[in-house]
Structure 1
Amino acid sequence: MALRCILRKWKTHRLTSSFLTQFTSNPTKTINPIRDISSALSSTHFITSFEHKNVTGFREYHDGRPRGPLWRGKKLIGKEALYVISGLKRFKDDEEKLPKFITTHVLRLLKMDLIAVLTELERQQEVSLALKVFQVMQKQDWYKPDIFLYKDLIIALARAKRMDDVLQLWESMRKENLFPDSQTYTEVIRGFLSSGSPADAMNVYEDMKNSPDPPEELPFRILLKGLLPHPLLRNKVKQDFEEIFPDSSIYDPPQEIFGAR
């Protein structure tokens, strides 16, 4: 702080000296205030920047820390939570050390830190670790069934093609009498279709029809597109779609494209 004040005073002194010199060195010369001030500022800036680097020894360089939103986001996570995330990733392939680390560190986290760890692992697509953390959360005294916790984890697992884990988590969610939203149905149906499991996709579809929330068009359209190689299943979904959304239309491609005669 003291060095900064000295440099500021020194800059002011140099600027004043350069400015006065322009006016007093040649009294008979025609004075152009704007040009003289500009030249004084430019010369002072050059001298100041040069001598500042040499006198103080300071250099501008990148300190290695992430810039912008990434760094601000990390500051919202506690140090202990960051340590747990790092430890879980370090021991994720060690079947002996990982359970010990969970017992000694994960179980000690407070509610908000544990939720922060779960969210960050989902963001980093560490879905296996996220599933273990969620199982730890379910055993806490403060845990209450929350559809949003299920939603984010199920979507992360579906996008990672971990459909067996999706099924187990789906059953756990239904036992707690929770219904997902349209986005969750869409991602799970898409995941089963891309994994070659149309029967499981239809089971999720039947569950969606029993949901207390009104259905939306997107999961229907994803299912109709994915069931093109299965005309019998597709016709059933198509009939339901036309009943629920009578004002919407469905594109039916020529049958010969899919080998149906």
Structure 2
Amino acid sequence: MATRAFSRSKIPIWASIVTRRNLTKTLTTSSSFSSLKPRPPFAGFDGPGPVLSGFIRLYHDGRPRGPLWRGKKLIGKEALFVILGLKRFKDDEEKLQKFIKTHVLRLLKMDLVAVLVELERQEETLLAVKVFEVVRKQDWYEPDVFLYKDLIMALARCRKMDEAMRMWENMRKENLFPDSQAYTEVIRGFLRDGSPADAMNIYEDMIKAPDPPEELPFRILLKGLLPHPLLRNKVKKDFEELFPEKHAYDPPEEIFGKC
């Protein structure tokens, strides 16, 4: 009886010891696994796409992302509507003027400038000129050489030199002078159209500007005036005086004669 009682009393003791050992082993195992860095599913895949229900989207959903999407958001919905409307009615002057009165005039400052810049980027230069005329009539408008410069350069690249010169005259009436980049584009535009006299007029304006001229417009003129040696010699003389350390290239005499 004493032996049976003793064996019964040992069962809870051994059970508690076994339970304690199992608990210690479990804690040790869990701590060792927790120290390891978990690996994400589909290791090595860094493609875009949100995680849905534990799975990564492995396809492109067609939505723009990154700087492209942020750039599109810079233009408001109303400004985009105005751009589309202007392009729609650009061949109908009556409808175009009506659209300008009803929609363009009601735009806020930032939207109006955004429409102007976007039309210049799309090379809708004649529409950009009409929007710029609206900008000049606003109460907040102040003479800005950069607005003129971008518009004149866009007109020169599209070979609309008459409109470019009209904007040039308006800019000079506001006592504004463009930078070397604008002079270069206008001079290149006149030389491309075969008007060296007009290119020389812009050159004279550049020489009289308050800012000193840069080298690039001279290079454009020296190349474009090869068939006109008298005009080229004048430009070459000024170039050598302003840039004595530079060299003006003269082509062989058998190609264009003596320069």
Q: Which sections of structure 1, spanning at least 5 residues, go unmatched?
A: 1-40, 44-51
Q: Secondary structure at the match of 1:199?
A: helix
User: Which structure carries more helix by proportion?
Assistant: 1
Give matches, 1:17-32, under 5 Å. Answer: none
Which of 245, 249, 259 is 2:247 aligned to? 249
Give, in angstroms, the shift of residue 66 of structure 1.
4.2
> Corresponding residue for 1:130?
128
Measured in 2, the distance between the counterparts of 1:64 and 1:100 equals 38
Which of 138, 153, 157 is 1:155 aligned to? 153
**Counterpart residue type for residue 172 of structure 1:** N
> Corresponding residue for 1:105?
103
Q: Secondary structure at the match of 1:246?
A: coil
Measured in 2, the distance between the counterparts of 1:117 and 1:63 equals 30
- Which has the larger displacement, 176-185 or 251-260? 251-260
Measured in 2, the distance between the counterparts of 1:66 and 1:123 equals 21
Give, in angstroms, the shift of residue 65 of structure 1.
4.5
> Corresponding residue for 1:236?
234
Q: CA RMSD in A?
A: 2.9
**Counterpart residue type for residue 237 of structure 1:** V
Measured in 1, the distance between the counterparts of 2:133 and 2:96 equals 14
Give, in angstroms, the shift of residue 63 of structure 1.
5.5
TM-score w.r.t. the length of structure 1 is 0.75
How many residues matched?
Answer: 220
Give, in angstroms, the shift of residue 101 of structure 1.
0.6
> Corresponding residue for 1:214?
212
Give, in angstroms, the shift of residue 96 of structure 1.
2.2
Measured in 2, the distance between the counterparts of 1:87 and 1:62 equals 33
Measured in 2, the distance between the counterparts of 1:259 and 1:187 equals 27
Give, in angstroms, the shift of residue 128 of structure 1.
1.1
Measured in 1, the distance between the counterparts of 2:113 and 2:185 equals 22
Change (3 A) 1:121 1:225: same
Give, in angstroms, the shift of residue 255 of structure 1.
2.1
Give, in angstroms, the shift of residue 64 of structure 1.
5.0
- Which has the larger displacement, 75-84 or 230-239? 75-84
TM-score w.r.t. the length of structure 2 is 0.76
> Corresponding residue for 2:169?
171
Question: Which deviations, in whole Å up to 9, do the C-alpha atoms of 1:48-107 show, x marking residues without a partner?
Answer: xxxx99x9xxx9776655444332211011111111111111111222211111110000
**Counterpart residue type for residue 182 of structure 2:** T
Change (3 A) 1:166 1:103: same
> Corresponding residue for 1:83?
81
Larger radius of gyration: 2
